[in-house]
Amino acid sequence: MASLAAHLLNPVLRYQVRRKLSGAGDPESVRRAFKTPLPVPRGVRYTEAVIGGIPGEWAEPTAGARPAMTLLYLHGGAYLVCSAETHRPITGALAQRGIRVFAANYRLAPEHPYPAAVEDGLAAYRGLLEQGIAPDRLAIAGDSAGGGLALAILLAAREAGLPMPARAVVFSPWTDLAGTGASAIENDGRDPMIVGSKIAQGAEMYLHGADPLSPHASPLYGDLTGLPPLMIHVGANEVLRDDSVRFDAKARAAGVISLLRIWPVVAHVWPMFHRFVPEGRQTLDDSAAFIRGAARG
């Protein structure tokens, strides 16, 4: 059963975010829809860094031993908005749960269209490996566009002959920039944040004429053989629900371990609101345990 907080948050987001996105026809309009800052977790040290030539920041717990697992995190925001700093509610919460997180500030569209984000994410992943972080102590995660980007980076890393990380976790990932999932229509009136009819328009600001069916843009259309164990979280009422459902089915068909969790009522990328929504805390608990479980001795 969904929490009261999850129910109460949805009309707020419908007014604060979806209302603005429904009229957004340019990048600046999209950016204005995501201006409200959220509380940042305490007990976490945030440090600017450059990994593999890509700027970003480390989020690390201030107390206790250095975590066994390192996580590369890719923030969401339709490839147009947000940053490592805006996503501290997630990266900081994962650091609180015993994970060392590098959040990459990959280049954003439309100034830097596809494939700039994939190139930057792959460079950051390669940079972490070159720092001596063993693949079995490394994970990758992301939300929304950053979730799709995390999965695209896995495909790009495999093609480049790089080792796979131990685990991957994605929250409400955008895996199909063509917007062909049935939920884009079925949930258009239910999703309190994302407008189903705007998916293709938003994707074009990033793609800038590139093929939306390219696997590095839409990992749903890639060969998923050899990917690491996945944990996928999505809301039942999201317009992007089928981006997760179809990716999970295709991954399992390719022999990949994939754990799909469909949550009732919750909004798009609800872990961002974990201070208010208990489902967000539970999702982060489950995800951190999944990532930490990859650590050996």
- Kindly list the catalytic residues: 144, 238, 268
Of the candidates 254, 227, 109, the residue with the CA atom closest to the CA atom of residue 170:
227
| Helix segments in the chain, DSSP class H | 4-13, 19-22, 27-32, 88-96, 116-130, 145-159, 183-186, 199-207, 241-253, 278-292
User: Dihedrals φ, ψ of 141, to 5°?
Assistant: -155, 165
| 238 contacts: CB under 8 Å, gap ≥ 6 | 172, 183, 187, 191, 194, 267, 268
Structure tokens given for 125:
């992943």
How far is residue 4's CA from residue 10's CA, in Å, rounded to a whole number?
10
How many other β-carbons are positioned within 10 Å of the β-carbon of residue 37? 10
**Angle 111-76-103 (CA atoms, 0-180°, nearest 5)?**
90
Strand order in the sheet with 54-61: 44-51, 54-61, 100-104, 70-74, 138-143, 167-171, 230-235, 258-263
Of the candidates 260, 281, 292, the residue with the CA atom closest to the CA atom of residue 93:
281
Q: What is the DSSP code (8-state) at residue 16?
A: I
Of the candidates 29, 12, 16, the residue with the CA atom closest to the CA atom of residue 198:
29
How far is residue 18's CA from residue 215's CA, in Å, rounded to a whole number?
28
